[in-house]
C-alpha cells in the first residue's frame, strides 16, 4: 500500500505535465493557461458555495442534536477539493470539480458508509471515577476589607 501511494505521488506530476503538453499543443499556450486560471476561478466559486452550504447543514445538525456524519464527510471532501484546486493541472482540477458535485460526494459516502460500523456513540461526557479517585473539594477563602491595615505597608 505504501509503495502504491509513493508511486502515485511520483506519477501525478508526470501525468499533469503530459496533459499540459498535450493540451498546449492542441490549443496553444495562452488558451491552456486561460483554462487553468478559469478552472481555478470556477472551482473557488463552487468551493465557496458548497462550503457555506456544508457549514449551514452542520450548524442545523448540531442544533437538532443529530450526529453530523454525512455533513462532516462532505466538509472533508470539500477540503480535499480545495487542496486539489490549489495544485496546478488539469487532472487535479477535474478531480476537485468532481468532488464539489453533491451527487459524487453522495456516491462516495454511500460506497464508504457500507464498510463502516459504529460500535458505540454518546452525545454527553461521562466520567467514571475509580475507587481510588479522591478529590479535594475544600476551598479556602481569604477575605480582606479595605479598612483593615495591610502588613508591610505604613
Structurally, the chain folds into a number of domains equal to: 1
The pTM for the full model equals 0.62
With respect to residue 147, please indicate whether it lies within any of the assigned structural domains. Answer: no
Domain that holds residue 66: 36-113
Nearest residue to 121 (alpha-carbon basis) of 75, 63, 66? 66
With respect to residue 77, please indicate whether it lies within any of the assigned structural domains. Answer: yes
With respect to residue 81, please indicate whether it lies within any of the assigned structural domains. Answer: yes
| The predicted structure's pLDDT at residue 131 | 57
| The predicted structure's pLDDT at residue 31 | 93
With respect to residue 61, please indicate whether it lies within any of the assigned structural domains. Answer: yes
Query: Which tens digits make up the pLDDT trace of 110-142?
Result: 888 888 776 666 666 555 555 555 555 556 666
With respect to residue 106, please indicate whether it lies within any of the assigned structural domains. Answer: yes
Query: Which tens digits make up the pLDDT trace of 61-91?
Result: 888 887 778 888 888 898 888 888 877 888 9
Tabulate helix, strand, coil % of the chain (nearest 5).
65, 0, 35
Q: What percent of the chain has pLDDT over 70?
A: 76
With respect to residue 94, please indicate whether it lies within any of the assigned structural domains. Answer: yes
Amino acid at each position: 500500500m505504501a509503495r502504491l501511494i509513493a508511486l502515485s505521488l511520483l506519477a501525478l506530476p508526470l501525468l499533469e505535465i503530459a496533459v499540459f503538453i498535450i493540451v498546449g499543443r492542441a490549443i496553444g499556450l495562452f488558451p491552456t493557461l486561460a483554462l487553468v486560471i478559469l478552472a481555478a476561478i470556477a472551482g473557488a466559486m463552487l468551493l465557496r458555495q458548497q462550503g457555506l452550504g456544508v457549514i449551514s447543514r452542520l450548524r442545523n445538525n448540531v442544533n437538532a442534536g443529530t450526529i453530523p456524519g454525512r455533513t462532516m464527510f462532505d466538509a472533508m471532501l470539500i477540503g480535499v477539493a480545495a487542496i486539489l484546486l490549489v495544485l496546478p493541472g488539469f487532472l487535479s482540477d477535474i478531480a476537485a470539480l468532481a468532488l464539489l458535485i453533491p451527487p459524487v460526494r453522495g456516491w462516495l459516502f454511500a460506497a464508504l458508509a457500507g464498510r463502516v460500523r459504529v460500535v458505540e456513540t454518546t452525545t454527553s461526557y461521562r466520567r467514571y471515577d475509580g475507587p481510588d479517585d479522591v478529590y479535594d473539594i475544600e476551598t479556602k477563602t481569604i477575605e480582606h476589607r479595605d479598612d483593615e491595615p495591610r502588613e508591610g505597608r505604613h
